[in-house]
Structure formats: C-alpha cells, structure tokens
Amino acid sequence: MGSKCKSSRAYDLMMRFIFISLFAICVCIEKQTVLASDATSSGKSEKFVGHKHARRKLDDIGGDISIDCGVPAGFMYLDEKTQLSYKSDEEFIRTGVNKNISSKFMSANLQNTYATVRSFPEGNRNCYSLRPPEGKAKTYLTRASFMYGDYDDEDKLPEFDLYIGVNRWDSIKFDNASHVVIKEIIHSALMDEINVCLLNTGKGTPFISALELRHFHNATYRTQSGALVLYRRLDVGSTTTQIIRFKDDHYDRIWVPYPGFPGSASINTSFIIDSLVDSQYRLPSAVMKTAVKPMNVNDSLDFDFEIGDPTLQFYVYMHFAELESRQGNQYREFSIELNGNLWEKSVVPEYLQSKTISSTQPARGSKLNFSLCKTSNSTLPPILNAIEIYILTDTLQEPTDQDDVNAIMDIKLSYDLGKGWQGDPCSPMYYSWDGLNCSYNGYKPPKIISLNLTSEGLTGKISPSLSNLKSLENLDLSNNSLTGSIPEFLSQLPLLRVLNLDGNKLSGSVPTSLVARSQNGSLLLSIGRNPDLCLSAPCKKEKRNSVMPVVAASVSLLVILIALLVFWTYKRKRAARLNVDNSHSKKEGSLKSDNQQFTYSEIVDITNNFHRILGKGGFGTVYHGYLADGSEVAIKMLSASSSQGPKQFRTEAQLLMRVHHRNLASLVGYCNDGGNVGLVYEYMAYGNLKQYLFGIFLVNLHVCIKNTLK
C-alpha cells in the first residue's frame, strides 16, 4: 500500500513538472512572437494588453502605399485611429493643386485624410503612378477615397470617372458635400507600375482625398478574368458601430458593422478566432467573433440585396465560424441557395475556426436573394459571420504595346516632357497623351502611329528611342533646338510617311536613304531652316580647290534658274495682257467658257458657308470646299472692296481658260452671279510652296547640282 502511494505521488509530481514546463514554453513562445513583431516597428515598443498572440504589422505583408492627397510636399504623419503612416502624393503625380475642404465641414471626428484634397482643374486625364516592390502579376487591393467638402467654394457636386490602368473602375458621384465615397478594387497588376487615373467627363473638376494600395500574398480573391470592385463587406452580427480595419485586419480591409437581418438574432464569443492557424483569407478575429442566426431554430436565414442593374455580375464570399460550444448530439449543418438555386450543398462551421464559401462562377440578377437552410441532420440553425460581395468588372483592354511604352517613356525622360504625359500613352482611346495618335484594333494593345513634338523646346540630339516606334507613320520634331546629325535609323522606320525636322540646329549630311525615299515619293521630308545641315556627304572636303568649283557651279546654276524664272514671268504677263477681253464694262465682264458655271448659292453649299479659309490675296479670299461628287476644290472669291482685284481676277481667269499643264492647278469652273464673282480651282492637297522650297525642293536641287557637276 505504501509503495502504491509513493508511486502515485511520484506520478503526480512528474505530471505537474510536465505541465509547468509546457506552460513555460508557451509563455516563452508568446513573448518571442510579440517581440519579433515589435522589432519591425520604428524603434518604439508597443503594448499588447489583453491579446493572446501578436498581431502583424502592415509592413509585414509588404507593398503597402498610403497617400494623403493634398497635404504639403514632404509631409508625413501617423494616423491616430489606424496607426498607419501616410505621406504626401508629390512623388506619385506631377499635376493638380492642393486644396483644403471648407472649415464648416471640419470636425474632431473627421478622419485626417478627408481634410485635404488634390484637385485637377487642367487636363482630361490625371494619373497617379504607383510602383509596389512586388511588381506585376501580383494581387493588390487599391482603395480611393473622396469627400468634396466644398473645397472649391462653388458648392457644386462634381461627377467624374475612375480608371485602374486602361480599364474603367467606377464613376464617382456624391449625395451631398459631406458624403464620403470609398472605392475598392482587387486586381492583378499587368505592369510593374499601377496607374490610378481620374477622367474629366465634363461634369465638374475631378479630385481625390486619399489613395491606398495593399498587397495580397496568396491566391485569394482570384477570378477567371477581370477585377473585383467592392459592393458590400459586412461584419454581420456586430455589437458596435465601429468599422474594423488594420490592425485587426492584416490586409486593411474595411468591414462595416451590420447588426443583422430581419428575423435574426446576434451571437458572439469572447474567444479568439483562428488563434492557432490563420485562415486562407486571414479574416480578422474581431469580425468572426460575432454572427447572426434565425430566432427560430427551424427557420432559414433569409436576406437579399437590391442591385438594380440585371447586367452586373457578382462574386460572393461568405465567412463562417462556429461560436457556440456544441453539447452532446448537437450538430450544425446547412445549405445555401442563391436566387433560388443551390449554391452550396453542405456547410459545417468549425469551432473557433474560419471557413469561407465563395463563388466559382459569377452570379447575375437585379436582386441577390440568399437563403441559408439547415439540413435534415442538423439540430442547430444556420449562422453567418461575415459576407463580401464584389462586382466583376472587365479588364479586357490591353495597355499600349510594351515596346512603344518603353520607347515613349525614354523619350519623355530624355526631353523632360510634359506634365500631361501620365498613365498609359494611348488608352483610354479618347484620352491619349497630347501629341500622340494611336492605332486601335479591338482589345489588342494599341500602337503609336504619330508623334507631334513641334515647338516643345527640345534640345540635344534626336533620341535613339524613336527607332523602337516601329509603327510610326508621322514624326514632327520641327521648331525646336535639336542638334547633331540626322540619324540613319529614321530611314529604317518601315511605315514612316512624314518626317518634319524643319527649324532646328541639325548639322552634318542628310542620310542618302532618306533622300532616296523623298525622291521616290514614299516620304514627305522637311529639313529647312537648319543652317548647318548639308544635303549629302561629305559636307566638307580638305582640298580647297575642290570646293570652289562646286560653289561656282552651284551659283551659276542658280543664276540660270533665276533668269529663266524672270523670263517665264515676263512671257506670262505679256500673254495675259494680249488675251484679256477689253470689251467688258468697268463693273462686269464676260467669263464665258467651256468650264462649269456655278450659282452663288451653290458656292455657299460647296464651301459649307465659307467655313474653311485656305488663304487671302489682294483680290479676295480662297476657301476650301467639296463638289457634289466629293472632289476637293479651292474657291477664290473676288472681294468687293478690292480696287485692283477685278482686273487681276479677270486676267487670271482668261489665262487659266487657255493655259493647261499637269503641274498647274486646273480651272474647274466659275461663278458670276449678281455681283458675286469667283473661280473654282482643283485643290492641291500635297503641301504648299514653302514646304517644297525649304524641304524636298532643296534636296532635289542639290542632287541635280551634284549630277551636273559629274
């Protein structure tokens, strides 16, 4: 008997020792966990009063960006409510102006981010550029917040569109000046840079209060295609009126308190949910500790959401955790129906452990009707702890061709170009960068086909990145201060049709391949007003006696050309004088010919009421027009106030009726109707004399001189 007591006492001591050891190990592990999390802070310790385990910080998940839009440049602060660090938006955008909301909307309870806004009175599209360290092909939650607060003292609520990248995110509308609008989207980044753009739709100036980005590590919230725009995120059965976000939520999701549905009762627990292992969705324990159930154990839990738009598609995420310790044969199992169709056959919540049931296919309907019904095996009614509903939005539009993006960004940086060049270069279609035209082919990546940088103050050499714009058809770099030689690669752009380098400080020789393309008509080349530019290599020769003959020959040829021009002008004037019909009166003369005669009303129709002016002269104005068959014409109307006009007018008319040549604009017809006199010419659509004198003509003249000297 004594040996049994001793043995029992020894066993008891051993069990106590094991228990105390295990307890000490648990306490040690808990303290180490708290310290590890605490070490990630900025050198300041935190107190974890009343918590059984450490809560991770936002920077543990990486990729977080928190921007308070409208605060002064360089300003940073720690938000007292969320303990999140916010910074100014100076490094994320180059446009817009900072504004404070009206003092009448300021209050002690107002969140800091709503006290200021960044407004965008200029430009149709203004974009924030976010570059999270995780880069592309990752899942992000992006949140944009807005409160008007009569910041512009106009008391007029604006409306505008919000884009994520090149795809529409949502429209921003307000009920009143203090209405806070928050838009969230969960999306996969296609590029390393995420662009959030505000588009002016003509209904008021866009603005923004705050912009936040959070990174998801795992594959939650994934869809087959598209992105998820938040419709509802509810903390069901909440016993408070407080929203829940970080630090309770690892990903800083915002959970709105929702006490329950008609015919339901709230239940809760004081225990921590998912205390041992985080669930896949990392749901906050504060949300999962409350739930609702039907008041009657045999009733179903029914609720619905009025959507209104039957074309919208939705993804639903329901979150469950058993909060009641079941006794004996108690069992909870239920099914879920959505719009009368079985959505989930069997849900059995686990005690103090989160479980999520989500859509595999999007739901559709003007109303979402949910019904949670207990199964025949269940003794307990259904429960619901939390629910998230997202609208599926298409992200079918591809961004601009990546090679084009890389090239145009290099050009932007090398020339320090404009504040208006933000976001994607080509998309959305009607909001492309200033000076760019793009080609669009359905949802395929757009390509840059035209680049107009005239009079932009460009300096330095012609950027080699232009060679990567393979679809470029029109390039205008005129009226800048570009230096250096014309690069050979410009001739290798396969689709280039127009190249304007006029009015720069280029030097050296024009590549022979460009000259050749200009001569064969495949390229309209303008290279005038570049004093140091010569038309072929070599520009200078070392032997002095080899230069003088070329100059002398060139001068001689120019003298001959000028003499011919003077002679031809004299002959033309003489012929005109001989052929003018002097039988007409001072007020009116005859213009009868085989050409078509037009009435004045027909002239008005042809010119669209004289809408487009092509030029002006001593005798009147020249207008552009279209004949009934679609042919373009130029119409020269005689001015009633011109003293020399009638004589010159009739001289020109008589001459054109007799002289015909393929290089002269032909006379189509005339108008002589009640004092309204005009001539209808063939329209010359391929540039004016100035372009040819300073561009192509000089190229061809030099080639002519060169061949003559040979």
Binding residue positions for ATP: 636
Structure tokens at 168: 């529409």
Rounded Cα distance, 407 and 469, in Å: 7
> Crossing angle for the helix pair 696-709 and 547-579, nearest 10 degrees?
120
With a CB cutoff of 8 Å and minimum separation 6, the contacts of 109 are: none
Rounded Cα distance, 641 and 489, in Å: 54
Rounded Cα distance, 67 and 534, in Å: 54
At residue 672, what is the residue type? Answer: N
Binding residue positions? 636
Helix (H/G/I), strand (E/B), else coil: 603 = helix
Rounded Cα distance, 51 and 34, in Å: 10
Using alpha carbons, list the distances in angstroms from residue 602 to 16, 625, 669, 672, 680: 112, 11, 12, 12, 11
Residue 540 is classified by DSSP as -
Total count of residues recorded for the chain: 710
End-to-end CA separation in angstroms for the chain: 133
Structure tokens at 472: 């470029």
Phi then psi for residue 330, to 5 deg, are -70, 140
Closest CA to 313 of 389, 390, 392, 387: 392
Element (H, E) at 100: strand 97-100
Helix (H/G/I), strand (E/B), else coil: 35 = helix
Label each residue of 288-351 as H, E or C.
HCEEEEECCCCCCEEEEEECCCCCCEEEEEEEECECCCCCCCCCECEEEEECCEEEEEEECCEE
User: Per-residue b/e over 282-291, b at no fewer than 16 CB within 10 Å?
Assistant: bbbbbbbbbb
